[in-house]
Structure 1
Amino acid sequence: MTGTERPGARPAAGMHNGTIMPTDARCLVEADESSATVRLSGVLEPTAADPVRDALLARLSDRPGPIVVDVARLRSTDGSAARLLAEVRRAVTDWPAADLLVLDPAGTVTGADATGLPVYATADEATAALARTPMAAVLAADLAPTVGAARQARAMIADGCARWGVPQLAEPASIAVTEMVNNVVAHARTPMTVRLAPRDSALHVAVRDHSPRQPAYAGLAPLTSTGGRGLLLIDTVARRWGSTPVPNGKVVWCVLHAEDEAARQG
């Protein structure tokens, strides 16, 4: 399978008064629903990385758009902060409109792993970078795991492709989202959130459900098989796709490019 995968979802961090509190760490992750800023404070040691990672992924999977991670009150050992933040950013890079920006006035995020991370020294710089993210270009729908869910998702795909000027991606994206949604209906059987957003000439699609069961893709299905071709269809129409475990579920995502569809049609 292509894409970002992390086997075995870990227990989610606890919630208390708007603060996500890892139970086995000396590092707190504070999130406010009214803001895109998430604050890390305390000591981030290698043993604390897993619950903090899960808290950040939960925030990104449950609230569309990028976040600013404020590490002004964080102490980190052995480059742990840079490794953690880089890993989370890689995990969400192909999710619709998702990103991770770092507010680091004290220079906490250092080392080779910090290369490529968008790090800002002041809150004004981080806020300005956040404002440049085209959050208006995101469509989302919360769907029940019923037979009509795929039809609703396809309607949203058609709407998005028309308004974003990529009508040639409506058909392949509809194929992909149908398989993604039907997998939730057939296997996860949980409520789901479908999101899509454009980026350059590409369309990013994701379905977040509440089952830890990961999709299994073993390549081409035998000709005698009566099923198992759903993931093959996604692999055929998308340039990249994958499944990312998050607390209380997963995010299955794919990326479709207009030039790929033009090449197929030509």
Structure 2
Amino acid sequence: MAAALGVVGGAGRLVTLTWKVETELPVAVIRFEGVLDVDTAPEVRLAVATALALQPAAVVADLAGLTAAAADDDLTVFAACARSAAAWPGCPVALSGPPDAVAAGLARMSVNRSAVIHPDLDHALAALEAVPPPLRFRQRLTAAPSITGPAARAMVVAACEAWGVNAAAGLEQVANRAELVVTELVSNAIIHAKTELEVVVALREPFLHISVADGSPAPPRLLSPDAPDTIGGRGLILVETLTTKWGYLPTRDGKVVWTMMRLGPPPVR
């Protein structure tokens, strides 16, 4: 998948940053080309989030085609992306092949504290070979309630059985909680996004990850229990209750809503 962003810089100058996800699994490689500045930095976040939606083992941002940033502060977007990926889905973000001017800016901003910087893409991929890819089930579904909900639940149950999640946790409740969570996520996406969905179930011990990507950029809304009666929103209260944490990331094609469930008793809220 590829994307491009064109914005008008000073004196009417057209500044463009393009990116392409060249490989997705087990390591997602994103190739950036163009100018990084305050206007194009959000595109870096979108690129990394789009790669993270499939929950790869790691993400490599190839900077060989990146022009020196307008200001060193712009380069901190890579550190922010690395911290976001560490929070969910818990995978490393590495940088490869920055030109000398870009490498100098990364060093001045201490970006290497959050993301390892490699001289080229080959070195980055070799270093990440030791990162184990998560166990993963993935399915693309249409926004049809009678089909999508049962299919998503069946996939979650199959994943938990294949990985022995209940046995590992010592609780029969894990798969049941996961079924409830995926049901609410899928239902919310069907009601509000009305697009095709991509459901991913992954195991990164000690967490079971369930995420649903859809084609709507609108963020999920967590309603309070005493909110006026409206369609949707209260299901996320159940999601918050049953999961360790949840959130969402905007992607190039919409968003991904993600959850993490610890392999143990449900959290006390």
Q: Same fold (TM over 0.5)?
A: yes
Note closer, same or farther for the CA distance 1:197–1:212 as it changes in structure 2 (3 Å cut).
Answer: same
Q: Which residue of 1 aligns with 2:205?
A: 200
Q: Which amino acid aligns with 1:166?
A: V
Q: Which residue of 2 aligns with 1:89?
A: 82
Return the alpha-carbon distance in structure 2 between the equivalents of residues 94 and 160 of structure 1.
Answer: 23
Q: Which residue of 1 aligns with 2:12?
A: none
Is this contact kept in 2: 1:95–1:206, CA < 8 A? Answer: no
SS of residue matched to 2:210:
strand
Note closer, same or farther for the CA distance 1:41–1:241 as it changes in structure 2 (3 Å cut).
Answer: same
Q: Which residue of 1 aligns with 2:95?
A: 102
Q: Which residue of 2 aligns with 1:72?
A: 64
Q: Which residue of 2 aligns with 1:28?
A: 18
Alignment of 1:1-266 (within 5 A): 20-24=3-7, 25-33=15-23, 36-61=28-53, 63-65=54-56, 66-74=58-66, 75-80=68-73, 82-96=75-89, 99-104=92-97, 106=100, 107-108=103-104, 109-110=106-107, 111-135=109-133, 137-147=135-145, 148-167=147-166, 168=171, 169-219=174-224, 221-222=225-226, 228-261=233-266
Note closer, same or farther for the CA distance 1:67–1:213 as it changes in structure 2 (3 Å cut).
Answer: same
Return the alpha-carbon distance in structure 2 between the equivalents of residues 216 and 207 of structure 1.
Answer: 15
Comparing 121-130 with 189-198, greater Cα deviation is found at 121-130
Q: CA deviation at 1:232?
A: 0.8
Q: CA deviation at 1:123?
A: 3.3
Return the alpha-carbon distance in structure 2 between the equivalents of residues 133 and 218 of structure 1.
Answer: 38
Q: Which amino acid aligns with 2:226?
A: P
Q: CA deviation at 1:132?
A: 2.8
Q: CA deviation at 1:166?
A: 1.6
Q: Which residue of 2 aligns with 1:13?
A: none
Return the alpha-carbon distance in structure 2 between the equivalents of residues 229 and 161 of structure 1.
Answer: 26
Q: Which residue of 2 aligns with 1:9?
A: none
Q: Which amino acid aligns with 2:244?
A: R
Q: CA deviation at 1:104?
A: 4.0
Q: CA deviation at 1:122?
A: 4.2
Is this contact kept in 2: 1:214–1:243, CA < 8 A? Answer: yes
TM-score, normalised to structure 2, is 0.78
Q: CA deviation at 1:142?
A: 0.1
Is this contact kept in 1: 2:32–2:65, CA < 8 A? Answer: yes
SS of residue matched to 1:102:
strand
What are structure 1's unaligned runs of at least 5 residues?
A: 1-17
Q: Which amino acid aligns with 1:158?
A: V
Return the alpha-carbon distance in structure 2 between the equivalents of residues 248 and 240 of structure 1.
Answer: 24
Return the alpha-carbon distance in structure 1 between the equivalents of residues 20 and 229 of structure 2.
Answer: 49
Q: CA deviation at 1:198?
A: 1.1
What are structure 2's unaligned runs of at least 5 residues?
A: 8-14
* Identity score, percent: 29
Q: CA deviation at 1:174?
A: 1.2
Question: Alignment length, in residue pairs?
Answer: 244
Could you list the per-position Cα deviations for residues 83-135 of structure 1 after superposition, in whole angstroms to 9, with x for gaps in the alignment?
21122334444555755221146435231444221332343431123323333
Note closer, same or farther for the CA distance 1:146–1:95 as it changes in structure 2 (3 Å cut).
Answer: farther
Is this contact kept in 2: 1:217–1:232, CA < 8 A? Answer: yes
The structure whose RCO (Cα within 8 Å, separation 6+) is larger is 1
Comparing 199-208 with 19-28, greater Cα deviation is found at 19-28
Note closer, same or farther for the CA distance 1:224–1:78 as it changes in structure 2 (3 Å cut).
Answer: closer
